[in-house]
Structures are given as structure tokens and as C-alpha cells.
């Protein structure tokens, strides 16, 4: 049966472990000059309806490096261009491709593609979630901290799509996740309640960044205004200012804390230049690991065992 990644709740802890293991192995082999071709003859379509550097290029490079072919479809295919129903496009693309990575606004649109395709559909970011980002970010946490359990992962900033995927990861993997968000910018209540309802992990939402980072092993931040919210940035700036990851905030955190950001970063807003470029920052490792994790995801989803 095909496997989709629409949200991280589509995955079990065993699925996550398989991705981590495969990505770490593929990264090691790639760095040793071994060029695996496990996706030879396969094609991945990419429908991207929002801008992307990292996700698009790392999925395309992952596909090409494993011997497969990425086909960038852009945003013309979704019904916007010719008003064609998604279910029609989805069925047509199923006959041409082995997998589909989609970045769009609406999670419902993604779900509709998944319902009407017979090939795996991968969420490459929606307004609600960014699941593949968080899978590869946990790989980076493993590399730097040796584990993802029994450590304190602290989200500081907007309760956005990336934070929602962290919440889902916490509910599947049993993470300790503390989210410090300004009042009125907490994560979606339904997503949070659903995750809390699983009774796995420890998920706490507060509005005090200083208190939140005290025992942090990992501090994670993201833009104050996500794609589609750009016009809100000027009104948000004032509310979000105390949530900037800067040297003063880091003074409240343990010395060995790592700082993460999915990028693109806005220096002087959610993170200072000094911290982004400083010794605690692992953002370049994060962006590199997207390549290796996307290889693992494609290798596993596009080469199903049964
Ligand atoms: N982190 C991330 O998804 O970056 P892009 O928007 O450039 O793909
Ligand atoms: N929250 C950001 C993530 C970008 C990778 C956005 O949706 O714009």
C-alpha cells in the first residue's frame, strides 16, 4: 500500500526510526564517494505553489543523485491555471509518476491529491504543517545531542506550520517540547489538543521565552510571518520582539544549547546575526540534512517492500 506523508501523524515511531537510520547511512555513503542509484527509473513530480530554495532543490537533487528524475511542475498544474479539478489531475499524474511532493497553501488541497492518486504524496509545506522539515531536523538533533528523547526542545516564536509538525512529532516520538509563543500566536488549538490527547511526550505552551529556555537542549525558531502572512509583519514585529533569539536570551540557557532555524532566516527579527552565525547555531547542518533525509524518504516511499 502507498504511504503518504501529509502530516507526521501519518508516521509511527518505527517509520521515523527507519528514516533516521536510512538518512544517516546514505549521508555516510555519499560522503565516502558512494553513489547509490536506488531510484533509477523512478520519477518524482514537484508541484510548488509557494517559493522554495531548500525543499525544492534538496528534493530534486535527492532524486537525481539516487538515479531518478525530478519533474518540476510548478504551480500550473493545480486547478488555478485551467480550473481542472484536483481529482482529475491527481489521477492523470498517478500514471506518469512514482511520487508527488507538493508545497501549497491548503492542507485540504494536499489531502485531495492524496485521496485521488495511487502514488505517495509528500507534504513539502502547507499553511498547517512542514513535516519533512521536522524529520530532518530531528536527524540534526540526533547528530548533535546523540538522542531526541529525554532532552528539552524549546520552540520560541510563532505557533506556525513548523511548530505544528514539532507538536505532532512530540506526540509520536514522546518528545519533551516546550513552546514559548506570544499571546495570540500560540499553535492551533485543535492540533495541540489532538497531540495532547495521545498522551505521549510532554508538550507545554507558554508565553515566557526566558523561562522556557532555562533547561533547553535545543532552541528552535522560525520567521515571525510565514509565507502568505507577509503583510502582517510590521504589526507582528512589536509583539514578537521579546522572542528574538539573541545573546541576551541565550544567557538564560545552558552553555551547550544548540540553536536551530529551518531558514530562510531574517536577521534582526527572529534571530540576531551574532547567534545565527555563532557557535551554538546548527542551521547549516540542518539545511544539509534536508538532502540526506529527502533521499531516505524517497528511497523508502518510492521503493515499497510490498
Ligand atoms: N526550510 C525550508 O523549507 O526552506 P525553503 O522554503 O527554501 O524550501
Ligand atoms: N513558517 C515558514 C517556514 C518556511 C520554510 C513559512 O511557512 O513561510
Residue 226 CA: which ligand 2 atom is closest? 8
Q: What is the pLDDT of residue 1?
A: 78
User: Has residue 79 got a pLDDT over 60?
Assistant: no
- Residue-wise pLDDT for 164-203, tens only, equals 999 999 999 999 999 999 999 999 999 999 999 999 999 9
Pairing assessment for the beta strands 218-221 and 258-261 based on DSSP bridges: parallel
Nearest protein CA to atom 6 of ligand 1, as residue: 52
Q: Is 226 in the pocket of ligand 2 (CB under 6 A)?
A: yes
Ligand having the closest approach to the CA of 57: 1
Instruction: Report how far ligand 1's centroid is from the alpha carbon of 35 (Å).
Output: 25
How would residue 250 be classed by pLDDT, with cut points 50, 70 and 90?
very high
Domains of the chain, earliest start first: 8-130+287-302 (3.40.50.1370), 134-285 (3.40.50.1370)
Tell me phi and psi for residue 211, to 5 degrees.
Answer: -65, -40
The verdict on whether omega for the bond into residue 97 sits within 30 degrees of 0, i.e. cis, is no
CB 60 near ligand 2, within 6 Å: no
Tell me which residue has its CA closest to atom 8 in ligand 2: 226
Query: Is the model's pLDDT at 306 over the cut of 80?
Result: no
| Residue 126 CB–ligand 2 contact under 6 Å | no
The beta strand positions in the chain, using DSSP E, are: 43-48, 69-74, 99-103, 121-123, 152-156, 176-180, 202-206, 218-221, 258-261
Return the ligand 1 atom nearest residue 125 CA.
Answer: 3
Instruction: Give the nearest ligand 2 atom to 228 CA.
Output: 8
Q: Which ligand is nearest to the CA of 136?
A: 1
Identify the pLDDT of residue 205: 98
Instruction: Name the residue of 161, 181, 269, 270 whose CB sits within 8 Å of the most ligand 2 atoms, as the mutation to test its pocket.
Output: 161
The answer, as to whether pTM is greater than 0.85, is: yes
Mean pLDDT, the chain, rounded, equals: 96
For ligand 2, the distance from its centroid to the CA atom of residue 128, given in whole angstroms, is: 10
The closest residue, in CA terms, to atom 7 on ligand 2 is 226
Spatial contact of 258 and 218, defined as CB atoms under 8 Å apart: yes
DSSP result, 166-231: HHHHHHHHT-EEEEE--TT-PPPHHHHHHHHHTT-SEEEEES-HHHHTTT-SEEEE--SS-TT-GG
C-alpha–C-alpha distance, residues 296 and 27, integer Å = 9
Local confidence band at 81 (pLDDT 50, 70, 90 cut-offs): low
Amino acid at each position: 500500500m502507498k504511504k503518504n506523508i501529509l502530516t507526521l501523524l501519518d508516521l509511527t515511531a518505527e517509520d521515523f526510526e527507519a528514516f533516521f537510520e536510512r538518512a544517516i547511512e546514505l549521508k555516510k555513503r555519499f560522503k565516502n564517494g558512494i553513489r547509490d542509484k536506488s531510484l533509477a527509473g523512478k520519477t518524482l513530480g514537484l508541484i510548488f505553489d509557494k517559493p522554495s530554495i531548500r525543499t525544492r532543490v534538496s528534493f530534486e537533487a535527492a532524486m537525481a543523485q539516487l538515479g531518478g528524475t525530478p519533474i518540476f511542475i510548478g504551480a500550473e498544474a493545480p486547478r488555478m491555471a485551467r480550473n481542472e479539478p484536483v481529482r482529475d489531475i491527481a489521477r492523470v499524474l498517478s500514471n506518469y509518476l512514482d511520487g508527488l511532493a507538493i508545497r501549497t497553501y491548503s492542507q485540504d488541497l494536499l489531502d485531495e491529491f492524496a485521496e485521488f492518486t495511487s502514488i505517495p504524496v509528500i507534504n513539502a509545506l502547507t499553511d498547517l504543517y512542514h513535516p519533512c522539515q521536522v524529520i530532518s531536523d530531528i536527524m540534526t538533533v540526533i547528530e548533535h545531542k546523540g538522542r531526541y528523547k529525554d532532552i528539552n526542545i524549546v520552540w520560541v516564536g510563532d505557533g506556525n506550520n513548523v511548530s505544528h509538525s514539532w507538536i505532532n512529532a512530540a506526540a509520536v516520538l514522546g518528545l519533551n517540547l516546550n513552546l514559548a509563543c506570544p499571546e495570540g500566536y500560540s499553535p492551533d488549538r485543535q492540533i495541540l489538543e489532538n497531540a495532547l490527547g495521545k498522551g505521549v511526550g510532554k508538550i507545554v505552551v507558554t508565553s515566557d521565552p526566558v523561562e522556557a529556555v532555562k533547561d533547553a537542549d535545543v532552541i528552535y525558531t522560525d520567521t515571525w510571518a510565514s509565507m502568505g502572512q507577509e503583510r502582517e509583519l510590521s504589526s507582528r514585529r512589536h509583539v514578537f520582539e521579546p522572542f528574538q533569539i539573541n545573546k541576551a536570551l541565550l544567557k538564560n540557557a545552558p552553555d551547550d544549547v544548540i540553536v536551530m532555524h529551518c531558514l530562510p532566516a531574517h536577521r534582526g527579527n527572529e534571530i540576531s546575526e551574532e547567534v545565527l552565525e555563532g557557535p551554538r547555531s546548527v542551521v547549516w547542518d540542518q539545511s544539509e540534512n534536508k538532502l540526506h533525509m529527502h533521499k531516505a524518504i524517497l528511497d523508502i516511499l518510492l521503493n515499497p517492500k510490498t
